[in-house]
């Protein structure tokens, strides 16, 4: 029984790592080709369309100008829909509080549920008036979008299309 559980955990980790690998990879600061400034407002991003080239390394400088907590997450639509379940759990656990992130609670809960740490290289979670950065290398042909996965935000259209030229 323990072998089965161990093998399941290994497979789950490989599949999870593979899904991130399929959308690109964490970029290196000394390889940045382009800087894109992203403004997050309540339920929309500027720019709405992000134009990049395959193999480019982009530094996203993301500022939350809204009154609510927002996320900027680079992924496929399928990955966003899956990630929204984790974000809902963050609300249920009292980690996401509308305009605030309870970082102490996040740290405590993530010791038992690692999905609550929100430490993804393709994502930044920001309180109002805060700034963050993502450096991402677009090394795949996968169709991507940037979105906010906080409950209700994706559904209201908080998505930027990523065009690869």
**Maximum C-alpha span of the chain:** 51
Q: Please tell me which residue, 18 or 137, carries the higher pLDDT value.
A: 137
Write the pLDDT tens digit of every residue in 39-80.
999 999 999 999 999 999 999 999 999 999 999 999 999 999
Write the pLDDT tens digit of every residue in 73-99.
999 999 999 999 999 999 999 999 999
Hey, where are the domains in the chain?
2-164
Residue 2 has pLDDT above 80, yes or no: no
Kindly give, in sequence order, each residue whose CB lies less than 8 Å from that of residue 164, ignoring residues fewer than 6 positions away. 52, 53, 54, 138, 141, 144
Model-level pTM? 0.86
Fold of 2-164: Immunoglobulin-like (2.60.40)
Kindly give, in sequence order, each residue whose CB lies less than 8 Å from that of residue 108, ignoring residues fewer than 6 positions away. none
């Amino acid at each position: 029984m323990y072998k089965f559980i161990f093998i399941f955990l290994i497979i789950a980790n490989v599949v999870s790592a593979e899904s991130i690998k399929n959308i690109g990879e964490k970029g290196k600061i000394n390889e940045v080709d382009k800087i894109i400034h992203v403004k997050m407002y309540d339920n929309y991003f500027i720019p709405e369309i992000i134009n990049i080239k395959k193999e480019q390394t982009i530094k996203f400088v993301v500022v939350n100008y809204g009154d609510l907590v927002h996320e900027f997450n680079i992924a496929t639509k399928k990955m966003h829909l899956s990630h929204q379940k984790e974000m809902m759990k963050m609300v249920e656990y009292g980690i996401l509080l509308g305009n605030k992130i309870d970082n102490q609670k996040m740290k405590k809960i993530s010791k038992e549920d690692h999905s609550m740490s929100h430490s993804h290289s393709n994502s930044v979670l920001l309180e109002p008036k805060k700034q963050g950065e993502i450096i991402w290398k677009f090394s795949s042909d996968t169709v991507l979008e940037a979105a906010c996965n906080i409950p209700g935000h994706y559904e209201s259209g908080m998505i930027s299309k990523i065009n690869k030229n």
